[in-house]
Amino acid sequence: MTVDAPQLPRRVNGVDAARGLALIGMFVAHVSPAAETLVAAELIAIADERPRLLFALTAGIGLGFISGGTRPITEGRGELRRQIAIRAVILIALGMLIWATLNPLVFIILDVYGVAFLLMLPLLFLPPGVAIGLGVGMLAVTPALAELGARTEFVAVVRETPLKFVSDWVVGGAYPVIVWVPVMLIGLALARTDLGSPRVVGVIALVGTAAASVFLPIASQLPAPETVSTAAWAVPLRASIEALGNVGVCALLVAMMLALTALARRSVRRVATTILSPVIAMGAMPLSIYTIHLVVISLAIREEDGVVTDDSWALVIGLVAGSMVFAWLWRRYLGRGPLERALRWASGRDRADAAPATSG
């Protein structure tokens, strides 16, 4: 049985633009040198946390789109889940392969991404209200649980074994699944709304702004993680509050990109889409761009003053500019990204889905 083919846009430029910005933020977080001033350090810290949450949010939106958007599919749900599961297993295998062969000096997102996709399968067709409520409720708790779990003796022991990646998947890494799944659920719920409606996008922007305005100032007043010896209770509490505020920032950013590329006056849309086209192209092929960047930073590993590093501003600029040029040219002349095309074929979507490609 084939999957329903609801009438969805080929791509949603605003979502792709947000995803592209998340990739750029990851580049900055991964290879920017140590900051010499407090302001610069705080800016780099922003790039370290919010891009990964923005990536998870847009991943959830993508899952919502390929499962029908505002009109969830009713036929072929099992086939769609099978396709997503195949994608997930391939992503896990690819992440583990890169980890074993290239061993870059960063946490790898791909295997955790795949695990999160598998966990999302039974949640894929939750009603939007349930999805957003469950996502926000879990997000208020799971970052704290991840922080607490990462500091347990059991996790410390596991991290000394070949199974360390399992603890990283769950609580110990930079991308714990118990945090990613709630954010994906929020994205899934957003995709079930009409993201082409100015009213809906305005509500998303207002809620995101409110969450950021309330939670981030509260988090900033709590003791920082480096004072854990005297305020251990503050670390998990701050993690949850910051996550809520940062996801609010991510929702606001998605709303802004949607407004600029789809809802603004025609002249503004044209200019914004043109300016953002390289970023949109990056966001349309995130697997390819992310994987290529891992290869590049692995080749950049060197030793300086006895310290192994891959950091340099030249590399940051090269990754951003090179990714924009590559993605823009590839998309313009060849269409779907190389690894996206391979993943789509391997999962069977080229054979089972005759509908146009969506933002998944």
Query: By C-alpha distance, which of 228, 183, 360 is closest to 287?
Result: 360
pLDDT at 148: 85
For the chain, how are helix, strand and coil distributed in percent, rounded to 5?
75, 0, 25
CA distances from 282 to 18, 83, 278, 328 (A): 10, 23, 6, 7
Q: How far apart are CA 346 and CA 289, in angstroms?
A: 19
Backbone φ, ψ for residue 124 (5° rounding): -65, -30
Residue 355 is predicted with a pLDDT of 47
Instruction: Please state, in angstroms and rounded to a whole number, the distance separating the CA atoms of residues 25 and 19.
Output: 10
What percentage of residues in the chain have a pLDDT greater than 90?
Answer: 64
Q: Average the pLDDT over 139-155 and give the result.
A: 87
pTM of the full structure = 0.90
pLDDT tens for each residue of 35-59: 555 455 555 555 567 888 999 999 9
Contact indicator for 282, 324 with CB cutoff of 8 Å: yes
DSSP code string of 207-263: HHHHHHHHHHHHHHHSPPGGGTTT-TTHHHHHHHHHHHHHHHHHHHHHHHHHIIIII
Collapsing DSSP to helix, strand or coil, 335 comes out as coil
Other CB atoms within a 10 A radius of the CB of residue 71 amount to: 12
Are 68 and 127 within 8 A, CB to CB? no
Lowest mean pLDDT among 93-97, 189-193, 202-206, 307-311: 307-311
- For 13-30, what is each residue's pLDDT tens digit? 999 999 999 999 999 988
Q: What is the mean pLDDT of residues 263-273?
A: 93
Structure-token match 């709303």, residue found:
255
User: What's the whole-number mean pLDDT along residues 293-322?
Assistant: 90
